[in-house]
Amino acid sequence: MVKQVVPSVGPGENPTVESAPRDRAALVALARATLDGNWEHDHTVPSRTLYPHQWSWDSAFIAIGWAHARPERVWSELTSLFDAQWRDGRVPHIVFNPAVSDAAYFPGPGFWATGSVDAAPPTATSGLVQPPVHALAAWHAYRRAPSDQARAALARLYPRLVAQQHYLASHRDVGGAGLVSIVHPWESGLDNSPAWDDPMAAVPAEAAVLRAYRRRDIVHAAAAHRPTDLDYARYVAIVTAYRAAGYRDGDLAHRHPFLVECPLFNAALGAAEHALAGIAGEIGADPGPHRERAARITAAVVDRLYDPTTGTFHPRDLRTGRLTAARTVLGLTPLILPDLPARQVEAVLVEARSARFGLATAMPRPLPSHDRTAVDFEPQRYWRGPSWMNINWLVRQGLLGHGHAALAAGLGASMVQLAAVAGCHEYFHPDTGAGLGSPAFSWTAALLLDILAED
Ligand code: 2M8
């Protein structure tokens, strides 16, 4: 009898790992049930407790899972997100469900106050963005479950995906070198990664600011597994600065406290152009301009974010002009660029296969989010060590794209084994495999379905 119970991870509890791994059929059933349980009329919440609204890059990963479970939901998921696209082309990182109370998530719609912003849609949203993995997801999901209806939906989405790219390229190239700057760690998706420690240290804030607010995340997850109060004070300070300027992007270089070129965000930007070229070919549009933009983005990622002395990619802090020193899993993600030059592919593989990340054809655990050998590696704290399925899925796609099928198979097997034992958690202890954060997390379920479908 296969166990279906997920480990308990209430605040302050020390999660334990189950002993009996689920078989493939039980894992597929759990993943489908997790997605069904998080479905909310036209989109999927990442988690019923921690994240009761729609998140941008979550929806992209989730759409990939729906291609295997209920293909019509691929297009509901993406269309509902892009229905909240701003007039300037930005796709907001949170679309708030008006039926959910403001207090259910911090910071809620009242804090973002987009209702008075000209470019914002009538729906309440945040004013930030997340990595543009949507074109890649739409193209991947379409090829997993092609149909006439899917092609029509893809064609309707195409101009919106193009507008998303246009916003990023035209409004967010603060450094002027063809790369996007993120204006908040939340835009990276890896909120409290050690990659942001240096630029965050320069943001003036005190943890006491949090007395004016009520964090909801630590009601549902252990505080030791989440960002700190000081992190949150800085998150609030950066949003407050951006909000005060009406979420406008002009003149960011002179006034904004956090401006960083992130390797994952920019690799996603380039991968999106490759995916758009594929989509354009499928729907009778011109792939040429997408291919040209993709080549320029890849060249800029290598030129601006690759450090030949470490052999990996690092974020560039525009306030100092320097690359940040931490060697996080972000450094491996440019592998998703199909045209990443062989020299960088080889260097990133050396980094990934080192003791820092442990990539191998047979590996006990998936990649951690941070260098295991670093003094600030924290195996339970969110993006400072735990393993996450979405990043592992992206790196696996990169390995497949660059012809490293055996390494991709090793990584995929470690991901499946992790969930077979611990369930569809939000993140996982990178050594013990214990589930952390939400116990029923959508992108974990979705991406597992994608990997299982390949077997
Ligand atoms: C986490 O981020 C949100 C803020 O956007 C939070 O902590 O409240 C991150 O893991 C992010 O990557 C993810 O999209 C979001 C929802 O799953 O949660």
Q: What is the reported pLDDT for 316?
A: 98
Helix axes 134-144, 442-454, angle to 10 degrees: 40
Q: What would the pLDDT profile of 328-382 be if each residue is shown by its tens digit? A: 999 999 999 999 999 999 999 999 999 999 999 999 999 999 999 999 999 999 9
**61 pocket-lining for ligand 1 (C-beta < 6 Å):** no
Q: What is the reported pLDDT for 14?
A: 41
Q: What is the reported pLDDT for 315?
A: 98
**388 pocket-lining for ligand 1 (C-beta < 6 Å):** no
The single residue of 187, 217, 351, 426 carrying the catalytic annotation is 426
- Pocket of ligand 1, candidates 35, 40, 50, 55: which has the most ligand atoms within 8 Å of its Cβ, to mutate? 55
CA separation for the pair 261, 89 (Å, rounded): 20
The single residue of 18, 77, 187, 191 carrying the catalytic annotation is 191
Q: What is the reported pLDDT for 372?
A: 98
**186 pocket-lining for ligand 1 (C-beta < 6 Å):** yes
For residue 441, give the nearest of 7, 80, 50, 129 by alpha carbon.
Answer: 50
Question: Is 209 strand, coil or helix?
Answer: helix
CA separation for the pair 429, 440 (Å, rounded): 16
CA separation for the pair 396, 406 (Å, rounded): 10
Cβ proximity of 45 and 38 under 8 Å: yes
CA separation for the pair 25, 179 (Å, rounded): 43
**57 pocket-lining for ligand 1 (C-beta < 6 Å):** yes
Question: Is 312 strand, coil or helix?
Answer: strand
DSSP 44: E
pLDDT at 47 over 70: yes
CA separation for the pair 5, 211 (Å, rounded): 37
pLDDT at 7 over 90: no
What amino acid occupies position 349?
A: L
CA separation for the pair 389, 444 (Å, rounded): 6
The whole-chain average pLDDT of the chain stands at: 95
Cβ proximity of 322 and 255 under 8 Å: no
Phi, psi of 103, deg, nearest 5: -80, -5
Place of tokens 């008006």: 98
Residues 249-257: what's their mean pLDDT?
97
DSSP H or E run through 278: helix 263-283
Kindly indicate the confidence band of residue 19, based on its pLDDT and cuts at 50, 70 and 90.
Answer: low
Residues 413-422: what's their mean pLDDT?
98
C-alpha triplet 274, 54, 426: angle, nearest 5°: 85
Instruction: Determine whether 426 is an active site residue.
Output: yes
pLDDT at 26 over 60: yes
For residue 140, give the nearest of 25, 274, 32, 267 by alpha carbon.
Answer: 274
- Pocket of ligand 1, candidates 51, 56, 218, 436: which has the most ligand atoms within 8 Å of its Cβ, to mutate? 51
Kindly indicate the confidence band of residue 172, based on its pLDDT and cuts at 50, 70 and 90.
Answer: very high
pLDDT at 402 over 50: yes
CB atoms within 10 A of CB 18: 18
pLDDT at 13 over 50: no
pLDDT at 423 over 50: yes
Q: What is the reported pLDDT for 1?
A: 28
CA separation for the pair 74, 60 (Å, rounded): 9
pTM for the whole structure: 0.96
Percent of the chain scoring above 70 in pLDDT: 96
For residue 131, give the nearest of 393, 455, 431 by alpha carbon.
Answer: 393
For residue 441, give the nearest of 278, 282, 221 by alpha carbon.
Answer: 221
CA separation for the pair 12, 44 (Å, rounded): 28
DSSP 42: T
Instruction: Determine whether 317 is an active site residue.
Output: no
**Which segments of 251-338 does DSSP mark as H helices, in order?**
252-255, 263-283, 288-305
Q: Please give the distance, rounded to the nearest whole angstrom, from the Cα atom of residue 191 to the centre of ligand 1.
A: 7
pLDDT at 12 over 80: no
Nearest CA to ligand 1 atom 12: 189
**55 pocket-lining for ligand 1 (C-beta < 6 Å):** yes
| Cβ-based neighbours of 213, under 8 Å, separated by 6 or more | 106, 107, 232, 236
Cβ proximity of 410 and 363 under 8 Å: yes
Q: What would the pLDDT profile of 313-328 be if each residue is shown by its tens digit? A: 999 999 999 999 999 9
Nearest CA to ligand 1 atom 13: 189
**46 pocket-lining for ligand 1 (C-beta < 6 Å):** yes
Cβ proximity of 327 and 312 under 8 Å: yes
What amino acid occupies position 98?
A: P
Q: What is the reported pLDDT for 452?
A: 98
